[in-house]
Amino acid sequence: MKNILTAIKDPLEEKDILELDKKIKDFRGGSLNEDSFRSFRLSRGVYGQRQPGVQMIRMKLPFGKITTKQLLGIADVADEFSNGNLHLTTRQDVQIYYVSLDRTPDLWTRLEQDDITLRGSCGNTVRNITASAIAGIDPKEPFDVSPYAQELFKYFLRTPFSQELGRKFKIAFSSNDDDTAYTFMHDLGFIPKVKIVDGKIVRGFKVLVGGGLGAQPFLAKIAFDFLEEDKIVPFTEALIRVYDRYGERTSRHKARIKYLVNKIGIEQILKYVEEEQLALGYSTFPIDHNAVPVKQRVSGTSFTTFKVSHNKKYQDWLVSNVFEQKQQGFYGVNIRVLLGNINSRTARLLAGLVNTYAADDIRITINQGLLLKFVSKEALPALFRALDNLNLAEPGFDSVADITACPGTDTCNLGISSSTGIAKELERVVKEEFPELIFNNDIKIKISGCMNSCGQHSLAQIGFHGSSFKIGTSVVPALQLVLGGGVVGNGEGRISEKIIKVPSKRAPALLRTLLNDYERNAVEGDYFNDYYDKQGKDYFYQLLRSHADEHNLLPEEYIDWGHTTEFKTEIGVGECAGVMIDLVATLIFEAEEKLEWAAQAFKERLYADSVYHSYATIIGVAKALLLGKNLRTNTQNDIINDFDKHFVETSEVNIDGVFRDFVLQINKNEPSEQFAEHYLKDAEEIIKQASIFRERETLASLNLTNI
């Protein structure tokens, strides 16, 4: 790896890669425990699979933007380190599977040469920042949100306060009020707005906080109807700091910010955000509008010889997959990618097509497809023919026929029943039996392998998630049907409702019943959710209940899609939520490590980083000592309160004043050199106090043992 490292352009990436290599060796050598290592590798994009001994690698691609050079690089990496498959995700990332843990530093090194990072793509971090794929070419957008997503990505990539949160933190930008990025289902969402102030156009955003999917979905709350563009970075940082301090830490299922918002309310959240302003050291953060330059196609190729205008598939493709951009004379071309999977050979050929026909700015879409930009009108027939040769010209992008599905039981530990096998079958049913629905963009079908909603079933007009039920000693693979979810617009959305659970093999018949009923009985002009609301939940339960009858199960219904043997549940420990580390010795060790980071950051004049590392040191020590007394805490705020009560008030640890004032100096001072130095000394002092206390406790324990 050392020879390859010389090609790395970014010294921070080099440091990350070397650190990953060291941690792997420490883990293999037994000096790093499994929980600590798991937490570390997850935040570096290395995720354990259902299959033992191999890893899924997730790349962090802000707002799904990828160049042809990057696509070629990923294809090469997929061939060398994986099985040659590139998986496009609903969060606009690329994942590859079956990677050896020991080879991940080399893999990351290769990706870095194409400006691709793994940092923060998994784990309890600020995850990939998503945005509407059409941003920059959207005819309805007030302005391009891509630079804003890029600036937030850069800012929060390595900020200390965003690396060890209670859970993941997801941010999304929609390009217009249609809210195609689902901001209402994110921890933090932005919708672009403009207003006129003193005769000038001012850019800003509607801001939403506390949405989320998972087993218990929440709709986001409005934080601001209009927040000026230069305030979004300070607000985001302050919000993450508040979440870091007050968010749940013990129960990972309750550790998302949506639960904090639900518990204390958006008004209290905003009050806490205001209290953090001084700690930021700045009140505005200007955004570089040119951070993501608009690139038009530069190829001079002539396309006049290609004629497919009378081809029905071409005409269907034009209607359902192609749209005119806001830039006159250019078109965006959407590509359906079955289950988000594209092999390395196809990826290389696609990169060549992009260089010929489109701008070097491919976007991964949130429904696991691809968008090509700046295609000229005269190039459309030739591009269609070339895409069709790669099986990438199927009409019906983002329609009923374009089903979203997470990998589920193929690779994920949490998958209950197959999501990919049934997705293929349902796409076949729509294509063969309801071909007119390839033009219907109102109904979305989304499938998850479990209730955690990686396939976004909670957002779907028609959604399914993996499940099972027992018949005697046998287990039947099943799917839970949900209906009525979707986008309302301008930050409002709907969460789908549970209707009925059916054996997985009956899902095609269930879908036929549902779509036939809608076509037969809906009033002209009714959208699916209008029809759902008019009929009511019980109507659909009664309509579909025969599909759930357990008394006439056939032998093949005990076998899941894509399998040949009888079904059995094989749910492991999921890693999507990160890891809680509770060992006292480990926490003390990590606090000492953070103290070293604080000192190094101070030496490098990164005073804000140094201050946060000092804060994390103090909190880590307090948590460790409380845990040593079997006192478990849910939040950093609880740690502060309990440490005062159980250690400072009892004089077991000596500090000046109360612990709350001692530790919360962080949001009462600007991150200046003087304060960073002072706070670093306070962190050093608390480590010393912890050492004294632990030595005293150890000695007392030995004395009791000898009595």
Residues 550 and 590 in one domain: no
Q: Which residues contact 215 (CB under 8 A, 6 or more apart)?
A: 253, 451, 452, 453
- Does 433 lie in the same domain as 472? yes
Same structural domain, 203 and 173: yes
Residue 646: partners with Cβ closer than 8 Å, 6 or more residues away: 626, 629, 631, 652
Does residue 120 form part of some domain? no
Angle at 364 between CA 360 and CA 365, to 5 degrees: 130
Same domain, 339 and 371: yes
DSSP 569: -
Look at residue 144 in the predicted model and tell me its pLDDT: 98
Distance (Å, rounded) from C-alpha 21 to C-alpha 88?
26
Positive or negative: CA dihedral 546, 552, 558, 560: negative
Give the pLDDT score at 575.
Answer: 61
- 599 located within any domain: yes
Establish if 579 belongs to a structural domain: no
Phi, psi of 237 (to 5 degrees): -60, -45
632: in domain? yes
Residue pair 419/409 in contact by the 8 Å Cβ criterion: yes
Indicate whether 506 and 552 sit together in one domain.
Answer: yes
In a domain, residue 355? The reply is yes
Does residue 181 fall inside a structural domain? yes
- Looking at residue 35, what is its pLDDT? 80
Quickly tell me which residue has 């009511």 as its tokens. Answer: 536
Burial-class residue 228 by CB neighbours within 10 Å (0-12, 13-18, 19+): middle
Note down the domain range covering 28.
Answer: 2-112
Same domain, 142 and 208: yes
Give dist(CA 12, CA 8) in Å, integer.
Answer: 10
Position 689 scores a pLDDT of 85
CATH of the domain at 346: 3.30.70.3340
Neighbours of 579 (CB within 10 A): 19
Separation between Cα atoms, residue 618 and residue 630, nearest integer Å: 19
User: Which parts of the chain have pLDDT scores under 50?
Assistant: 577-582, 702, 704-707
For residue 343, the cross-strand partners are 85
490 and 526, same domain (yes or no): yes
pLDDT score of 408: 85
Position 565 in a domain: no
Query: Residue 517: what residue type?
Result: D
Question: Would you tell me how many other CB atoms lie within 10 Å of the CB of residue 677?
Answer: 14
C-alpha dist (Å) from residue 246 to 271, 369, 686: 13, 37, 22
Same domain, 423 and 541: yes
* pLDDT of the residue at 63: 97
| Torsion sign (Cα): 132, 134, 138, 140 | negative
CATH number at residue 195: 3.30.413.10
Say how many domains are in the chain.
Answer: 5
C-beta contacts of 549-555 below 8 A and 24+ residues apart: 550/469, 550/471, 550/476, 553/471, 553/476, 553/503, 554/505
d(CA 617, CA 89): 35
Say which amino acid occupies 541.
Y
Asked if 157 and 35 sit in the same domain, the reply is no
Each residue's pLDDT tens digit, 609-646: 999 999 999 999 999 888 888 887 889 999 999 998 99
